[in-house]
Structure 1
Amino acid sequence: MLAASVTTLSGCGLEIPTDPDGALDRITGGELRVGASPSGDLVVVDGTVVDGALADLIEGFAREHDATVEWSVDSEEDLVADLEEGSLDLAIGGITAATPWAERVSVTRGYPGIPDSGGADVAVLLPLGENGLQAALETYLDGEVSR
């Protein structure tokens, strides 16, 4: 049925978002490489353990794709560089939709309903062009986070 839907959508001129580097296909049943920058209770880092409301959402997204999360902890600047070079799939922290990193990486919509965000429009960073992964993540967040 899914194949028929995809064929039907393709025939209508609608395109399903794709990933030039195959990120969504690679993480499904595999590993989601996520960089974390500490940010209050939103992203809590204790040694190599990453926790907090936003980290929990990312863990849930990974579970939906039968993936495990491989966490890396670093500064936002270093995480952006890792996204650009392709060694990370996502980066989280106290990042908002108004981030200055938007010229170098892709940014999800802002989600003000994430617990411990103080109502800020929290966003997640991804490598440029990984549109399938971004669409899947935003669809997941839309279902999990009250706006």
Structure 2
Amino acid sequence: MPRDSQGTLDRATGGVLRVGVSEHPPFTVVGENGDVSGEEVDLMQQYAAGIDARIEWTTGPESVLSEAVRNGELDVVIGGFTADAPWTSTIAFTRPYTTLERPDGSTAKVVMGVRPGENALMVDLELFLARTAGEI
């Protein structure tokens, strides 16, 4: 199994998984009172349950959240990110787990972001996403 340079998966397992949420319906929705919902929120809740973790949600714009992941303040960032998002220099993206249709009719691959070097978390999350999508 790959290892995390900062031990994120070990820390989060049985503890707290810190997840950043950028609004991008239907993947993520941030309510007026800060509540979060959406397809990716549901996925993260299922993932966290599988590692016996409680989620600490942080909402904000993609640029702020991606910087927080890079700095180790967040473990995962979600928000309908696409594989061609400009944050590849600050966060590591999972393999695509679904697609979305853009307004121009083209499609894009949807990913989640983690801190670079947290390879055990990345692999564990990717395996979860693959199982959820019925790929394995």
Tell me the TM-score normalised to structure 2 length.
0.89
| Between structures 1 and 2, the one with greater strand share | 2
Match of 2:124 among 96, 113, 136: 136
Match of 2:21 among 21, 31, 36: 36
1:84 paired residue number? 70
Counterpart Cα distance in 2 of 1:43 and 1:120: 16
CA shift for structure 1 position 41: 1.6
Contact residue 35 and residue 91 of structure 1 kept, 8 A: yes
Q: Over aligned residue pairs, what C-alpha RMSD do you find?
A: 1.4
Structure 1 gaps, min length 5: 1-15
Could you tell me how far apart the structure 1 residues matched to 2:52 and 2:86 are? 32
Distance 1:17 1:41 in 2: 32
Report the 3-state secondary structure (helix = DSSP H, G, I; strand = E; otherwise coil) of the residue aligned with 2:81: coil
Between Structure 1 and Structure 2, the one with more helix by share is 1
The Cα shift of 1:146 comes to: 4.7
What are the Cα deviations for residues 86-115 of structure 1, in whole angstroms up to 9, with x where unaligned? Answer: 1100000020112221122110011226xx
Amino acid at match of 2:43: L
Q: How many residues align?
A: 129
- Partner of 1:21 in structure 2? 6
TM-score by length of 1: 0.83
Letter in 2 for 1:45: V
What amino acid sits opposite 1:59 in the alignment?
A: Q
Note the residue ranges of structure 2 that are not aligned, 5 or more in a row: 102-106
The whole-number CA distance in structure 2 between the counterparts of 1:55 and 1:146 is 19
